[in-house]
Structure 1
Amino acid sequence: MSLLIKNGKIVTAVDEYVGDILIEGEKIVAVGQNLNYPVSKVIDAMGKYVLPGGVDQHVHYSFDFKGEKVRGFETSNAAIAGGTTTVIEFVNQEAGKGIAETIFEYDKKEVSKLAMVDYSYHGVICEPTDKVFAEISNLPDKGISTVKIFMAYKGLPFHSDDAALFKALKASKDSGVTVMVHAENADVIDILQKECVAKGQKAPYYHAVSRPMLVEIEATQRAINLAALAEAPIYIVHVTAKEVMEVIRDANNSGIKVYGETCTHYLMLDKEDLAKPNFEGAKYVCSPALRSEADRKALWEAINHGWLNSVSSDHCGFDWKNQKHMGVNDFTNIPNGSPGVENRLGILWTYGVNTGKISRQRLVDLFATTPAKINGLSHRKGHIGVGMDADIVIYNPNHESIITNETSLHGVDFNIYEGFKQEGKVDKVFLRGKMMIEDGKFIGQEGDGQFIPQNAFGLCFEDIKKVKKFESVSKI
């Protein structure tokens, strides 16, 4: 099928212009002005913005917390409804199995049949053995170029110590695998949690009390030091606070190849949300914990200046009534995480672009272009240009709505942005040339998504100041 999208205002990470996009099958074959070709369908996007499909590098569709499992890829239509056409899923290594073995068994059993969005994988190291570290060098041959280490969650299967992190860093660098880190001091958190519980401080707010900013700062600095010793790049996920961001920024400026992301909820919410009555605060239990209003302001500045280079959702769909209530008498038993993949673009547009905190080009860079580069997908994803996958979002800026769980597709019983205003609307979304969203409604099918193999040696292996930018357009 051929498709011509005409007269839209095309936005890339470096440019903005009114133009046309010609799509043949799954690929973009021309970008320019006044294109006239015989095609199967023409869409007039006049008055609307045309963006590359988003790449959300941080989602959890298989996460298990004390036996409770999140909503899976059967809810991935929420991603594409929010303008995200590619997600990267964290898969915890199963006991006795390799990283790739675990991933592709999961892919065959669940994901390939259900995915309504394209996807890649991060491996999560849970058994830090020499055999597992030896496997890292072979992961890029299987299309996996990122692995994650959890420094947090003492006592749970996915927690790793410093030795595991250091060995992973040493094993990764020559094969071009990026190590991602959840940086919190697990031992200190364990002590603080037990102290809170012993004092009878068991409400959701004490999740933040037991995970103060210093445990994130300490672990982030420690992870950076280990990366410097290993002479390997490192990526710090879900950065929450000004001081944590500054540790990353200053280390990067000193020549250490460390980079970081933040998430939409750290830009929009703070720890006072955890104090909401009637156990409503449990909806906002995520790790690291929400911080302060001052931290939110600093994080907006950080993403605008490039001190953090991506905004993810950290989507994690636990139900409030039936799962979060595991911790109704003890906050340490509340499953961590909240849904958010559907709201990432709307939040960045409404509270970033429309308030002047970031430009539209910066939004595209944070939402799509740089996440694709970090994860070895920039040969196909994250940019509107000739030869790229035809992942296109048409965004109507002349629309206003209120975010509500009633219209969400993420499959749980709450939305942490309930009642927030959203300016603009995802009008249409194309996944490799196939229309998946029409007039804001999902019209695709389960199984429309594909596994997209990652290339090794992503952005974290380059000096970010010397990375060649995309050419703005290919015009004819």
Structure 2
Amino acid sequence: MSTRTLIRGGLVVTAADEIHADVLVEDGRVAALAAHHTAVADAWTADRTIDATGKYVVPGGVDAHTHMEMPFGGTFASDDFETGTRAAAWGGTTTIVDFAIQRRGQTLREGLDTWHAKADGRCAVDYGFHMIMADVNERSLKEMDLLVEEGVASFKLFMAYPGDLYSDDGQILRAMQRASYNGGLIMMHAENGIAIDVLVEQALARGETDPRHHGEVRKVLLEAEATHRAIQLARVAGAPLYVVHVSAEEAVAELAAARDKGLPVFGETCPQYLFLSTDNLAEPGFEGAKYVCSTPLRPRAHQAALWRGLRTDDLQVVSTDHCPFCFSGQKELGRGDFSRIPNGLPGVEHRMDLLHQAVVDGHISRRRWIDIACAAPARMFGLYPKKGTIAPGADADIVVYDPHTEQTLSAGTHHMNVDYSVYEGRTVTGQVETVLSRGDVVIDGRAFTGRAGHGVYVPRSTCQYLS
């Protein structure tokens, strides 16, 4: 049975346009847009009409970097696909791209199947997968081709975490060469893990065990060096490169220099690097453990370079790297040894709001907000224009956003399955009011009306910035 929803009276904001328009949704897709009070719009009828007067009507967010239920350091991320995607919906994100993990000795297929089993039937919003390659060999290189054909067209490699996820330069080069052949996109965790491990060992030997030392040993220069090395390896392989969670001014400079040469090099940052700093890691007692992630939080001075990179398009995407661990019983595993603190922060619920606050603060424009949170990640990972925009034929992933309401972020009110907020007590202007996922209302006037299993797996094409 055909169902029609009409969103009237709002300002439709996409990466390309801002128009006062009504939006007609039919059978899960955007059917048409028309200017307010025109004969066309006034003639539309619908089963349901949503009044968006005084509000923004924006595409659902695309968070291209999440880790639901990820194993790390003897524990698991505290959000599974059900709780994590529900929190995403609350925050106006209607698509996530999570990371399936190949472990050493496994095939890529075995890793991917494990993550399909975790997510299937449990997601409140749509989802796709990247593939983490932890065992680059002849078999897994050939498997990359099959995964690209199946819609898993991006592969993450780690220059960090020796003995676990780490790949050496030769393995990275081989994977990049294969990606240049099959059209896949290599995503890089760019930190010199071999050198960092030496600094960790030396810091612990000196009795420097507090959370703040996590940031001090993971040096800015070791992020910049690894970013530079990844770019040069990609140049040798003739492959595109996407550097994840860029946190430091010097790493942005490496990306900017590569892009100035016309190289297909892309970068992502995350809200934690834009809004938090080493001041948080240095909070008294063991409180700093709440802010341990890798790459680590940097001194506040780095934030200006990240904002500038987002404005100049040297950074294209803001994702969350959502990988939450509860303070009680999980982060506490690292009491007395910062290297044992599980790495990761909660954030999937707050990305759209924090970036709207950046609009309010004058860091970025409204259209740039939608670009870095919706359109660019959709293009980067082969989901556009199905996702990331409001246009005829696109999935009706739509957020009615109140730009005037103030809210205070807190663990007491968030919906992520974690016992603290890294933004506790922070007031932001703007709030998600209503969310449609493929035309179904999943947040209705600040009430959750979705369900586990509504979200479907979305195969992706190759990076659309390269075609």
The two structures share one fold, judged by TM-score above 0.5? yes
**Do residues 113 (structure 1) and 121 (structure 2) align?**
yes
**Do residues 165 (structure 1) and 172 (structure 2) align?**
yes
Q: What is aligned with 1:153?
A: 161
Once the two structures are overlaid, the 10-residue window that deviates more, 300-309 or 386-395, is 300-309
Which residue of 139, 146, 163 maps to 1:138?
Answer: 146
User: Partners of 2:185 and 2:408 in 1: how far apart?
Assistant: 38
Q: How does 1:52-131 map to 2 (within 5 A)?
A: 52-70=59-77, 71-75=79-83, 76-107=85-116, 109-131=117-139
Which residue of 1, 10, 13 maps to 2:12?
Answer: 10
Which residue of 346, 350, 367 maps to 1:343?
Answer: 350
User: Partners of 1:457 and 1:290 in 2: how far apart?
Assistant: 29
**Do residues 320 (structure 1) and 320 (structure 2) align?**
no
Q: What is aligned with 2:434?
A: 428
Structure 1 residue 203: deviation in Å? 0.3
Maintained 8 Å contact 2:379/2:463: no
User: Partners of 1:203 and 1:442 in 2: how far apart?
Assistant: 39
Maintained 8 Å contact 1:62/1:91: no
Which residue of 270, 273, 296 maps to 1:263?
Answer: 270
Which residue of 248, 258, 263 maps to 2:255?
Answer: 248
**Do residues 375 (structure 1) and 381 (structure 2) align?**
yes
Structure 1 residue 457: deviation in Å? 4.0
User: Partners of 1:277 and 1:294 in 2: how far apart?
Assistant: 21
Alignment-mate amino acid for residue 143 of structure 1? G
Structure 1 residue 100: deviation in Å? 3.3
Q: Tell me the TM-score normalized by structure 2.
A: 0.96
User: Partners of 1:206 and 1:214 in 2: how far apart?
Assistant: 16
Once the two structures are overlaid, the 10-residue window that deviates more, 302-311 or 93-102, is 93-102
Structure 1 residue 51: deviation in Å? 0.3
User: Partners of 1:101 and 1:392 in 2: how far apart?
Assistant: 34
Structure 2 residue runs without a partner (length 5+): none
Which residue of 39, 43, 49 maps to 2:46?
Answer: 39
Maintained 8 Å contact 1:396/1:426: yes
Alignment-mate amino acid for residue 2 of structure 1? R
SS in 2 for 1:259: strand
Which residue of 21, 24, 31 maps to 1:22?
Answer: 24
Which residue of 266, 273, 280 maps to 1:273?
Answer: 280
Q: What is aligned with 1:415?
A: 421
**Do residues 299 (structure 1) and 306 (structure 2) align?**
yes
User: Partners of 1:83 and 1:204 in 2: how far apart?
Assistant: 32
Q: What is aligned with 1:445?
A: 451
Which residue of 434, 456, 460 maps to 2:462?
Answer: 456
Deviations 1:20-45 (A, max 9, x none): 11111111110112412221111111
Q: What is aligned with 1:193?
A: 200
Structure 1 residue 104: deviation in Å? 2.8
User: Partners of 2:464 and 2:107 in 1: how far apart?
Assistant: 23
**Do residues 396 (structure 1) and 402 (structure 2) align?**
yes
Q: How does 1:233-244 map to 2 (within 5 A)?
A: 233-244=240-251
Maintained 8 Å contact 1:86/1:118: yes
User: Partners of 1:96 and 1:226 in 2: how far apart?
Assistant: 25
User: Partners of 1:26 and 1:98 in 2: how far apart?
Assistant: 36
SS in 2 for 1:407: coil
Structure 1 residue 110: deviation in Å? 2.1
Structure 1 residue 376: deviation in Å? 0.5
SS in 2 for 1:405: coil
Maintained 8 Å contact 2:11/2:21: yes
SS in 2 for 1:342: coil
User: Partners of 1:248 and 1:52 in 2: how far apart?
Assistant: 28
User: Partners of 1:239 and 1:106 in 2: how far apart?
Assistant: 26
Maintained 8 Å contact 1:82/1:345: yes
Deviations 1:186-215 (A, max 9, x none): 111000000000000000000011101011
Structure 1 residue 18: deviation in Å? 0.6
Percent sequence identity over matched residues? 40
Deviations 1:58-90 (A, max 9, x none): 100032112201121121211011010000001
Q: What is aligned with 1:177?
A: 184
SS in 2 for 1:245: helix
Maintained 8 Å contact 2:62/2:94: yes
Structure 1 residue 137: deviation in Å? 1.4
User: Partners of 1:329 and 1:113 in 2: how far apart?
Assistant: 40
User: Partners of 1:11 and 1:293 in 2: how far apart?
Assistant: 31
Q: Tell me the TM-score normalized by structure 1.
A: 0.95
Q: How many residues align?
A: 458
Once the two structures are overlaid, the 10-residue window that deviates more, 94-103 or 127-136, is 94-103
Maintained 8 Å contact 1:176/1:458: no
User: Partners of 2:365 and 2:217 in 1: how far apart?
Assistant: 36
The alignment yields a C-alpha RMSD, in angstroms, of 1.1
Q: What is aligned with 1:466?
A: none
SS in 2 for 1:85: strand
Structure 1 residue 12: deviation in Å? 0.7
Structure 1 residue 458: deviation in Å? 3.0
SS in 1 for 2:50: strand
Alignment-mate amino acid for residue 429 of structure 1? V
Maintained 8 Å contact 1:10/1:18: yes
Structure 1 residue runs without a partner (length 5+): 463-476
Alignment-mate amino acid for residue 337 of structure 1? G
